[in-house]
Amino acid sequence: MKASIKIVFALALIVLSSGFQIIKTALSVTVRDEVGNTVEGASVQLFEKEEDYAAETNVAAQGVTDAKGILKIKELKAMSYYVIVRKDDKDNAGGGEQTGKLEANRINKVTIVIQ
């Protein structure tokens, strides 16, 4: 009985120390308007390459902000992304079109202003 408990404990330690990650690389995008209010229903697109961003092709991830102006995107690569945010006649053109490099296995956060 004691031997089986030791084996289970040893296996648990191996799994935990083997780099098993519960949190995957994610991004929480908050969208605000020019006066600082959060924007519900804004479409957000992420692109890995500048060429794809310019042509608006090969979207890496996308979604729509919730009632609090937030979109959470999971399972991303730890890299910088180009971002397009639009709602009606407002967008983020001309400022902050790229995120910083996302930290691996963390929930990264960014705020995008549309006007």
pLDDT for res 26: 98
The CATH number given to 23-113 is: 2.60.40.10
Q: Using CB atoms within 10 A of its CB, is residue 60 exposed (0-12), middle (13-18) or buried (19+)? A: middle
**Each residue's pLDDT tens digit, 35-59:** 999 999 999 999 999 999 999 999 9
pLDDT of residue 14: 59
Mean pLDDT of 89-98: 85
Q: Sign of dihedral through CA atoms 81, 106, 37, 87?
A: positive
Please compute the mean of the pLDDT values over residues 85-102 and round it to a whole number.
90
Q: Write out the two tokens for 89.
A: 């006649």
CA angle 79, 82, 85 (to 5 degrees): 135
- Domain limits, the chain: 23-113
Element (H, E) at 83: strand 82-87
Q: What's the pLDDT at 19?
A: 52
